[in-house]
Chain A
Amino acid sequence: EVQLVESGGGLVQPGRSLRLSCAASGFTFDDYAMHWVREVPGKGLEWVSSINWNSNYIEYADSVKGRFTISRDNAKNSLYLQMNTLRPEDTAFYYCAKAATHGLLDRWGQGTLVTVSS
Chain B
Amino acid sequence: DIVMTQSPDSLAVSLGERATINCKSSQSVLYSSINKNYLAWYQQKPGQPPKLLISWASTREFGVPDRFSGSGSGTDFTLTISSLQAEDVAVYYCHQYYSTPQTFGQGTKLEIK
Q: How far is the CA of A62 from the CA of B101 in the complex (A)?
A: 9
- Residues of chain B in range 92-111 having any CB-CB distance to chain A below 8 Å: 93, 95, 97, 100-107
Q: A104-B55, A105-B40 are in contact. Are A45 and B97 (CB under 8 A)?
A: no
The reply to whether the CB of A27 lies closer than 8 angstroms to some CB of chain B is no
Which of B56, B100, B102, B105 counts the most A-chain CB atoms under 10 A from its CB? B102
The reply to whether the CB of A115 lies closer than 8 angstroms to some CB of chain B is no
Q: How large is the interface on B (under 10, 10 to 19, 20 to 34, 35 or more residues)?
A: 20 to 34
Q: How far is the CA of A104 from the CA of B101 in the complex (A)?
A: 13
Q: How far is the CA of A111 from the CA of B38 in the complex (A)?
A: 24
* Chain B 32-64 interface 0/1 with A at a Cβ cutoff of 8 Å (1 = within): 000000101000000011111001100001000
Residues of A bordering B, CB below 8 Å: 35, 44-47, 50, 59, 61-62, 95, 100, 102-111
Which residues from chain A contact B100 at a C-beta distance below 8 Å? 50, 59
Which residues from chain A contact B52 at a C-beta distance below 8 Å? 104-107
Judging by beta carbons under 8 Å apart, are A111 and B105 in contact? no
Q: How far is the CA of A110 from the CA of B51 in the complex (A)?
A: 11
Min CB distance, B19 to chain A, in Å? 20
Q: A44-B104, A47-B104, A102-B38 are in contact. Are A108 and B97 (CB under 8 A)?
A: no
Judging by beta carbons under 8 Å apart, are B97 and A61 in contact? no
Q: How far is the CA of A62 from the CA of B106 in the complex (A)?
A: 19
Smallest CB-CB A-B distances: 9 pairs: A108-B49, A103-B97, A45-B104, A47-B102, A44-B106, A59-B100, A47-B101, A61-B101, A106-B52
